[in-house]
Amino acid sequence: MIKRLLSYFFVFFAFNTIAQNVKPILVIHGGAGTISKANLTPEQEKEYHFVLNQALEAGMKILQNGGTSLNAVEASIKIMEDSPLFNAGKGSVFTSEGKNEMDAAIMDGKTLKAGSVAGVTTIKNPISCAKTIMQKSEHVMLIGKGAESFAKEQGLELVDPSYFYTDERYKQLKKAKEIEEKNKKGSGKIDVWKDYKFGTVGAVALDKYGNLAAGTSTGGMTNKKFNRVGDAPIIGAGTYANNKSCAVSGTGWGEFFIRTVVGHDISALVEYKNYSVKKAGEVVIKKVSDLGGDGGVIILDSKGNFSMPFNTEGMYRGYIKANGESKTFIYK
């Protein structure tokens, strides 16, 4: 009996020692595209850095207080969803019909549980809905009115669709329609206009328990049609996490990220071929490039190694470590 108790104590002590040795880290992105100094004023640069730092600090506060990577990811993304600077939540772009339709997903690297939401118009923070789906429903993905009914039942904050309106995004829609008309495209195809600030937001985190999580939230593509859904809410494409490999959140041209299954492909290279997160990210982003797509990813493994590869001129991104070291970036 004494031997058994001692063995239990040893296992408990060893587990907690290992947990305490894990240094939490959080990495975020706010979208990739043709982001150059010519496109942003110094004042705009400061605004982006400010909100990115707010998101990093919100997530790290949770991690430093013993919170989970899932809660840290949610907190960071909510900061960016609430800012009109990014194409998620408040700053979501407009569909061809003049609506804001949002998608989001979150995944737990420990259990491989995931939650996802797509095409919602009244949920203030889609990432919170995705997390609630993961935790309180037997499903992974809910869409449209059904997702909004679920959110209401769960007591999540709902808003009038007008909450998501911003002048800047509406101007982008008008410009996209002008280009569409000029090019005389259409006939069933999605007419792609790159506003070059895709703005999808995401976060990956490692907590002191050694668990990874990933989350992504987006308003999709300007002037999208037919209830188009991109890669962000698709587990294995724009969002993926597995403690055995890494956590991934993507941003860019969703159709290409779906076709190349970006998140899972990176994870598989790390798990099965022992690639570093840097090498795995570069290999997979090259696949996207070779098909004609663009964008970037943030990747974090269970040892705290991270990478932020992209094939565009810039990507809003940043990281913060448990020792307080943090940095945000915009350009290459």
Closest CA to 173 of 256, 100, 231: 100
Per DSSP bridges, beta strands 326-331 and 314-321 are antiparallel
Phi/psi class of residue 138: alpha, beta or left (left: φ > 0; alpha: ψ in -120 to 50)?
A: alpha
> Which residues make beta-bridge pairs with 248?
240, 299
Q: Is 200 part of the annotated catalytic residue set? A: yes
Overall size of the chain counted in residues: 332
> Which residues make beta-bridge pairs with 212?
206
Beta-carbon count within 10 A of 150 CB: 20
Position 58, amino acid: A
Helix, strand, or coil (residue 140): coil
Catalytic annotation, pick one of 95, 132, 200, 251: 200
What six digits make up the tokens of 70? 């899932």
Distance CA 219, CA 101 (A): 6
Position 134, amino acid: M
Evaluate whether 98 touches 219 at the Cβ level (below 8 Å).
no
Helix, strand, or coil (residue 75): helix
Closest CA to 201 of 23, 59, 19, 13: 59
Helical ranges in the chain per DSSP H: 2-21, 42-64, 69-81, 126-136, 144-153, 167-183, 254-259, 262-273, 277-291
Distance CA 35, CA 257 (A): 20
Closest CA to 211 of 37, 72, 327: 72
Residues noted as catalytic = 200
